[in-house]
Amino acid sequence: ANGAKIYARIGGSGPAVVLIHGFGDTGDMWKPLALDLATDHTVIVPDLRGMGLSSIPESGYEKWNQAADIRAVLDHLGIGNADIIGHDIGTMVA
């Protein structure tokens, strides 16, 4: 997506919610909340570019560009609308 390959964990069914991790972390930080939300939501938990299992491109780390990465993941999944929850820099991306 947008110059990067974004890894995302996806589970559950229902209204979509995206959980965006903070600096120096990965989507794994959301595991307890994601498991709870997955009982009645479609939960999408990406690793931001350069972190976790996502690729490490040379550029594109601006928050607006990382937000475009998230939009591309949602587009790939055919999801038009989602609630977005962010932590630390994930809040700026959200």
Average pLDDT, the chain: 96
* Confidence (pLDDT) at 1: 58
Residue 3 lies in a domain: no
Q: Which two tokens stand for residue 42?
A: 């479609």
Residue 32 lies in a domain: yes
Number of domain units in the chain: 1
Query: Encoding tokens for residue 59?
Result: 């550029």
pLDDT of residue 34: 98
Say what percent of the chain tops pLDDT 70.
Answer: 98
Segment holding 46, helix H or strand E: strand 42-46
Residue 2 is assigned to a structural domain of this protein: no
Would 38 be classed as within a structural domain? yes
Q: pLDDT band at 3, cuts 50/70/90?
A: confident
Rounded to whole angstroms, the Cα distance separating 27 from 51 reads 9
CB 46, CB 73: distance < 8 Å: yes
Residue-number span of the structural domain to which 87 is assigned = 8-93
Q: Residue 46: which CATH number?
A: 3.40.50.1820
| Mean pLDDT score, 48-58 | 96
The answer to whether residue 49 sits within a structural domain is: yes
